[in-house]
A and B are shown apart, each in its own frame.
Chain A
Amino acid sequence: QQQVKQSPQSLIVQKGGISIINCAYENTAFDYFPWYQQFPGKGPALLIAIRPDVSEKKEGRFTISFNKSAKQFSLHIMDSQPGDSATYFCASWGTNAGKSTFGDGTTLTVKP
């Protein structure tokens, strides 16, 4: 049973546009929600993360919006650049719980 569902599977955006990727989780015990970026042949790298006590977190061009009641969170990439082209994964887990769950990924292509 997949506990984290991510959409869309792929996304094409023009340079300068906004990329939006969505994630839904099931386990209400989760309290840590990161987004990871992965380039081909590399391991995932943390992009930004949020805890459920806030509804939004912004770091540069990247913003996480969090809706605790709907059990959903999303990644917004403002002013998308060709260098942002990568696969993005949402994840969630409970602090001190160890076991983490990742979404299936979104392949983002930013066209110049």
Chain B
Amino acid sequence: GAGVSQTPSNKVTEKGKYVELRCDPISGHTALYWYRQSLGQGPEFLIYFQGTGAADDSGLPNDRFFAVRPEGSVSTLKIQRTERGDSAVYLCASSSTPGLAGSITSTDTQYFGPGTRLTVL
């Protein structure tokens, strides 16, 4: 089946503009994650959805960042008043409902999309 897809693959915008980044998770996956990856660093957690609700948004850097997942499938990451420091690759991942402790099943695996490279000029 299809993997996680993200659009656009590249986005160039000007400082102060508003951007939306889209993530299509693997069909049937209830959990969805957004990460930000800067050059030379590991993915930095932003927000985690379980179904339609944001179960943990503690990684969002400030109130300019917001994400939604209204129908429990596609998610959109929204960034207002973009700043040059927002330039990074934004990654989305999805997984099934977390599995039971003591076992490793495919439900624990986070499957990543290819990312959206955001450049703020």
Contacts and interface: CB of A to CB of B under 8 A. Distances in A.
Contact of A49 (B58, B91, B108): B108
A95 to B, nearest CB: 5
A48 to B, nearest CB: 10
Interface in B3-53: 4, 31, 33, 35, 40-45, 48, 50
Nearest to B111: A46
Contacts of B111: 46
A86 B35 CA distance: 20
B2 interface: no
Contacts of B50: 98
Contact of B42 (A32, A46, A104): A104
Interface stretch (B64-72, B78-86, B112-120): B112-120
B36 to A, nearest CB: 11
Contacts of B91: 43-44
Binding site of B, secondary structure by majority: helix, strand, loop or mixed?
loop
Given A43-B4, A96-B98, A99-B48, A32 B104 contact: yes
A90 to B, nearest CB: 8
Nearest to B117: A41
B56 A98 contact: yes
B43 A46 contact: no
B113 A104 contact: no
Nearest to B113: A43
A101 B44 CA distance: 7
Top 3 A-B pairs, shortest CB-CB distance? A43-B112, A102-B42, A98-B48
13 contacts: A6-B42, A43-B4, A43-B93, A43-B115, A46-B109, A46-B110, A46-B111, A89-B43, A91-B42, A95-B100, A98-B50, A98-B56, A103-B42
Interface of B: 4, 31, 33, 35, 40-45, 48, 50, 55-56, 58-59, 91, 93, 98-104, 108-115
